[in-house]
């Protein structure tokens, strides 16, 4: 994100939905409108609890943005801004993380507003369900992981617990959502846009 003293700042309210998830996994976020897509990538990683281990890309009407790759026609995400690729309420873009697991996210701009004085952005307003663990195999692999965790007699149950670093399956609740925990994860990326 860029900050120019005296410049008019706005905030995008966006809904980020993990495509294909059932029940749906989503986050409603407020981010500075002039955030770069590189910054937005970091925000999404923090809100879903991922570790930024894999390739990623934003697909928009303005083109593809991520780690520059001429063959794949991906431009540098640090040069694309949210308010340029999705300037208005109703605009959409797609974010894909991990080209193997293929976590596709639909991003919808719900509103563009003035920042609240004294409020740091980005921030998570609400959401639903825990983010899937890193490298759990995409939406279908995650569903299979949940089946294994729910069945202590499953032949892979103990192995998957060890992989997740858990002592028991009840330590991972796929239905949990904690906006405060997510906002703590976002705090290192946050900035106050409007003074009191």
Query: Where would I find the H helices in the chain?
Result: 37-48, 82-85, 138-150, 157-164, 179-186
What is the rounded distance in angstroms from the CA atom of residue 131 to the CA atom of residue 122? 18
> Considering only CA atoms, which of 184, 72, 91, 179 is closest in space to residue 129?
179
From the list 127, 149, 135, the residue with the least C-alpha distance to 25 is 127
| Alpha-carbon gap, residue 30 to 45, rounded angstroms | 15
Q: What is the pTM of this model?
A: 0.92
Q: CA separation (Å) from 98 to 45, 57, 137, 146, 187?
A: 11, 9, 10, 20, 24
pLDDT tens digit at each of 196 positions of the chain: 444 444 679 999 999 999 999 999 999 999 999 999 999 999 999 999 999 999 999 999 999 999 999 999 999 999 999 999 999 999 999 999 999 999 999 999 999 999 999 999 999 999 999 999 999 999 999 999 999 999 999 999 999 999 999 999 999 999 999 999 999 999 999 999 987 6
């Amino acid at each position: 994100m860029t900050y120019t003293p005296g410049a008019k700042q706005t905030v995008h309210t966006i809904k980020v939905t993990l495509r294909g998830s059932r029940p749906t996994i989503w986050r409603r976020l407020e981010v500075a409108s002039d955030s770069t897509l590189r910054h937005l990538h970091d925000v999404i990683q923090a809100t879903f609890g991922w570790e930024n281990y894999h390739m990623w890309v934003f697909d928009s009407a303005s083109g593809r943005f991520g780690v520059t790759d001429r063959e794949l026609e991906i431009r540098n995400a640090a040069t694309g801004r949210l308010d340029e690729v999705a300037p208005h309420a109703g605009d959409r873009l797609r974010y894909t993380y991990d080209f193997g697991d293929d976590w596709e996210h639909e991003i919808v701009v719900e509103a563009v507003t003035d920042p609240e004085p004294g409020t740091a952005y980005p921030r998570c307003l609400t959401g639903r369900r825990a983010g899937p663990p890193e490298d759990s195999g995409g939406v279908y692999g995650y569903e299979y992981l949940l089946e294994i965790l729910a069945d202590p007699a499953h032949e892979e149950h103990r192995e998957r617990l060890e992989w997740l670093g858990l002592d028991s399956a009840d330590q991972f609740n796929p239905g949990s959502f904690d906006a405060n925990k997510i906002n703590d994860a976002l705090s290192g990326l946050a900035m106050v846009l409007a003074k009191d």
